[in-house]
């Protein structure tokens, strides 16, 4: 019969306690005769019992927790492999934006770090950035890979990808923690964005940070339906869109650290995304 960890710990504790009481009482009775000696022996016996059972329980519980930790690590790794698989599938479908996910994730994560994020918050941001276009998995190939500019009806379909991302991620506990960027990175500071028309501070800060890098990457590279914009044109647009499309604080942060962000963007050895 296979016992669960907590059952095993209790059984070991009960068995050790029973053996200790029986054997120690037998030894005390055999070696001490006066009341004072027996009382002293019982005190020492009690302290030894606490130390012995504490040591045994430490070993047993630590072993079980190590097993749980290993299982948790394996589960996290399986999630990470699944996420990478999703991104690979998306890259295969939309070859025109190849490396876009890796590039914007790296640059946006650097911007988030410069904004003061660290630890788990920065890791959460990075995973959300990686998943920002995951909703496009639900967009038909005829629209997603169309070799020319989308018409009005097609654009309305592509605008559904944040809602698709929400539906995809929100029902999985591990993934719902990273939903802000995939769901909100097309919202605009003045409330004219989509899918919910959020305005100002209603938009999660992580999505506001990511949005400027996403737009920068889209404009700075050739697409079938357009040529890449010049650095001057992009910077002019960002200044004009401060307080309209973009959070003014984020625009200021972008220009303050512009050289560093371009250094990260131009790194030819971006490597794989750290999930």
* Active-site residue list: 136
Centre a 10 Å sphere on the Cβ of residue 186 and count the other Cβ atoms it contains: 20
- Cβ neighbourhood burial of 189 (10 Å; 0-12, 13-18, 19+): buried
Per-residue DSSP letters for 184-215? HTT--TTS--SSS---GGGS-HHHHHHHHHHH
CB of 187 within 8 A of CB of 194? yes
Q: What's the token pair of residue 80?
A: 């990470």
| Per-position b or e across 63-93, b if 16+ CB within 10 A of its CB | eeeeeeeeeeeeeeeeeeeebeeebeebbee
- Closest to 94 measured CA to CA, from 147, 131, 132, 130: 147
SS (H, E, C) 18-59: HHHHHHHHHHHHHHCCCHHHHHHHHHHHHHHHHHHHHHHHHH
């Amino acid at each position: 019969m296979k016992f669960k960890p907590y059952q095993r710990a209790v059984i070991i504790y009960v068995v050790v306690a029973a053996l200790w009481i029986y054997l120690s009482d037998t030894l005390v009775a055999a070696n001490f005769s006066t009341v004072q000696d027996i009382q002293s022996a019982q005190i020492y016996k009690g302290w030894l019992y606490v130390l012995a059972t504490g040591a045994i329980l430490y070993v047993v519980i630590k072993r079980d927790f190590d097993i749980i930790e290993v299982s948790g690590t394996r589960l996290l790794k399986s999630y990470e492999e699944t996420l990478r698989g999703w991104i690979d599938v998306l890259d295969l479908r939309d070859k025109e934006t190849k490396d876009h996910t890796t590039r914007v994730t790296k640059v946006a994560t650097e911007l988030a770090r410069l904004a003061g994020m660290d630890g788990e918050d920065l890791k959460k941001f990075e995973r959300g950035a990686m998943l920002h276009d995951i909703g496009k998995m639900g967009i038909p190939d005829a629209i997603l890979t169309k070799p020319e500019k989308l018409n009005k009806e097609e654009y309305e379909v592509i605008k559904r990808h944040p809602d698709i991302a929400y539906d995809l991620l929100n029902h999985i506990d591990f993934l719902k923690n990273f939903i802000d960027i995939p769901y909100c990175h097309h919202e605009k500071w003045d409330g004219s964005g989509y899918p919910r028309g959020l305005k100002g501070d209603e938009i999660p800060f992580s999505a506001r940070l990511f949005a400027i890098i996403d737009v920068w990457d889209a404009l700075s590279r050739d697409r079938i339906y357009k040529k890449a914009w010049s650095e001057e044109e992009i910077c002019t647009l960002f200044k004009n869109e401060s307080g309209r499309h973009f959070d003014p604080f984020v625009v200021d942060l972008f220009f303050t650290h512009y050289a560093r962000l371009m250094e990260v963007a131009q790194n030819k050895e971006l490597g794989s995304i750290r999930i």
